[in-house]
Structure 1
Amino acid sequence: MIMRPGQQLLLPANPLFIAFSLLVALGLNMLINMGLWGRAAWVPDLLAVALVFWSVHQPLRVGVGTAFFFGLVMDVHQGALLGQHALAYAALGFLAIAMHRRLLWFPVPNQAIQVLPLFAAAHLLSMLVRAVAGDGFPGWTYLLSPVIESALWPVASVLLLAPQRRAPDPDDNRPL
């Protein structure tokens, strides 16, 4: 694969680390939903950020099926309409896999701008499902959530790629 100039060569991703990071994101999502803000409309969906990140960086390991499963878990946790998060996460997974090759050519701040429409589409899809079920409009603060999720993209890139950036056995005489 041709790499961008200045791009660091990464080690292979550990499947256990991928699973652990997704479970941590799920746990943080559950804690945030039960915390001080409850299910406020502006609160970012950390699990969605992790799912999109791994769908972009490891599309063979984390895909639409994984996203659908975690969406069902979030539906059960929130007591939401069964399939609401599952549909939104599956759409996120599909769109992330569809654009993963193009997205990786951009630097991380530009990637954050590129994933903003993905998060916005997922929130719009979730809102449409709720509207069909008879729920009202959650308010204009709902538009902040995709922006905050997109702003978290560089943080996720630093945290989730950190184990892959270390050298397998560092040596002063080897440039990699």
Structure 2
Amino acid sequence: MIMSPGQTLLLPANPWFVWGTLLGALLLEMALQVALLGRAAWAPDLLALTLAFWVVHQPRRVGVGVGFVLGLLIDVHQGALLGQHALAYSVMCYLAVVIHRRLLWFDWKRQALHVMLLFVLAHALQWLVRALAGDGGPDLGMLLAPLWQAALWPLATVLLLAPQRRAHDPDADRPL
């Protein structure tokens, strides 16, 4: 595979770091729900952001099954309709696996636009499940959450790929 100009060669991802960041995002999502006294419609779903990131960058390690299990955990914690987050995360992960090869060729702006569509679809599925269960119409604040998540995509890329960008065996004489 030919690398695009300016792209750095990354080290393999440490599995402990991948699973640790997913667990950290799950705990942070749970803490934010408690801090905001319930799920605020405008708040970005940091677990979905982290999950989509690792599905795009490590599709053999993190996939649809992981999204389903994490979605069930969020459903249980939030007391939501069982399966609404699981369905949304599973569909989002499946579509992220489908586009992951093409997505990595784009710069961060175009990546953010592509993943924004994934986040919009995930939120729309959650709203649809709640609407079918008789939970009323969507809140206008729900439109802000996917935008926030897409805006956080470049920051997530920098933070989550930082351990892979370090030199394997640092040496002053080698540029890699």
What TM-score range do you get, normalising by the shorter chain? over 0.9
TM-score (norm 2): 0.98
Three-state SS of the structure 1 residue aligned to 2:61 is coil
Three-state SS of the structure 1 residue aligned to 2:159 is helix
Residues 68 and 87 in structure 1, CA contact (< 8 A), matched pair in contact too: yes
- Structure 1 counterpart of 2:127: 127
Residues 109-143 of structure 1, C-alpha deviations (whole Å, 9 max, x = no match): 22111111100000000100000111012311110
TM-score (norm 1): 0.98
Structure 1 position 10, deviation (Å): 0.2
The one-letter code of the counterpart of 2:168 is: P
Pairwise CA RMSD of aligned residues? Answer: 0.9
Q: Please identify, of 60-69 and 34-43, the stretch whose mean Cα deviation from structure 2 is larger.
A: 34-43
The one-letter code of the counterpart of 1:85 is: H
d(CA) in 1 for partners of 2:88, 2:53: 15
The one-letter code of the counterpart of 2:70 is: F
How many residue pairs get matched? 176
- Structure 1 counterpart of 2:24: 24
The one-letter code of the counterpart of 2:102 is: R
d(CA) in 2 for partners of 1:36, 1:129: 23
The one-letter code of the counterpart of 1:10 is: L
Q: Structure 2, unaligned stretches of length 5 or more? A: none
Q: Please identify, of 133-142 and 145-154, the stretch whose mean Cα deviation from structure 2 is larger.
A: 133-142
d(CA) in 2 for partners of 1:65, 1:173: 44
- Structure 2 counterpart of 1:102: 102
4+ long deviations beyond 2 Å: none
Residues 42 and 145 in structure 1, CA contact (< 8 A), matched pair in contact too: yes
Percentage identity across aligned positions?
Answer: 63
Residues 131-162 of structure 1, C-alpha deviations (whole Å, 9 max, x = no match): 01110123111100000000010110011000
d(CA) in 2 for partners of 1:68, 1:3: 33
- Structure 2 counterpart of 1:118: 118
d(CA) in 1 for partners of 2:37, 2:76: 19
Q: Structure 1, unaligned stretches of length 5 or more? A: none
Structure 1 position 90, deviation (Å): 0.3
Residues 49 and 149 in structure 1, CA contact (< 8 A), matched pair in contact too: yes
